[in-house]
Amino acid sequence: MTDEALDPFDLASLRLDQNYSDGVAVRKLITMIRVGKPQKQHFVRVNPDPGYRISPVAIIDLKDDRESYLVSPTLAAELAGEFISVALFTGITRAGTLFLWPVPLPAPDGKHNPWHRSALIAVERAEHRWVRIVANMEAGGYDVSEAAANIGDPEWPDMPFKAMVRIAFQGRIVDRPDHPLILKLRGAM
């Protein structure tokens, strides 16, 4: 036996064949789903299937912590003024990253904030086209841009909406009166 045959660091024996990944099936697991509006640099689509949205739902958005909490309807009256009522849409970026897009609904008096109205227009356009939203402070709403090129339809993951909501709000569902978020909001924690 030669020393080269026994050398585990022989460079020629370490080189992979160029087809090393052929036949290796990998499926990306979805373990995180962000809740929030799309980032201004991203073109996005919204799933047009009504089974991939819910409205109205109550959400408490902690901007400093960058966390959103889903509020159980049984606690909504107890938390009046703390949550916003939203429509929750399933979105996807061009890179294939899922997110849940909460769009605030009109106030009980029927008034609709121009920011929220323009976000809803963006959602409606994003059901059929790739769109991007950018804040326009002067206009008081979002500018909605459509992709100029025909990018094609997104590849939606084979996952029920309920599973998406479970992943997005894992550990962040306010479902009992002694929930830590309620205690924090009341100054009891």
Pairwise CA distance, residues 61 & 172, whole Å: 11
- Look at the alpha carbons of 113, 172, 167, 108 in this order and tell me if their dihedral is positive or negative: negative
Q: What is the pLDDT of residue 9?
A: 76
- Strands 34-35 and 98-104 turn out to be parallel
Question: How would you write the pLDDT of the chain (189 residues) with one tens digit per residue?
Answer: 555 557 777 777 777 777 756 666 677 788 899 999 999 999 999 999 999 999 999 999 988 888 899 999 999 888 888 899 999 999 999 999 999 999 999 887 888 889 999 999 999 999 999 999 999 999 999 999 999 988 899 999 999 999 999 999 999 999 998 888 888 888 876
Name, in order, each residue with C-beta under 8 angstroms of 121's C-beta and a sequence gap of 6 or more.
Answer: 144
Residue among 58, 48, 44 at smallest CA distance from 87: 58
Q: What does the domain layout of the chain look like in residue ranges? A: 30-185
Total-model pTM: 0.82
Planar angle of CA 53, 54, 59, nearest 5 degrees: 115
pLDDT given for residue 21 in this prediction = 61
What's residue 78's pLDDT?
Answer: 85
- State residue 124's pLDDT score: 97
Query: How far apart are the C-alpha atoms of 113 and 179, rounded to whole Å?
Result: 30
Which distant-in-sequence residues (6+ apart) come within 8 Å of 40 by Cβ?
Answer: 132, 133, 134, 135
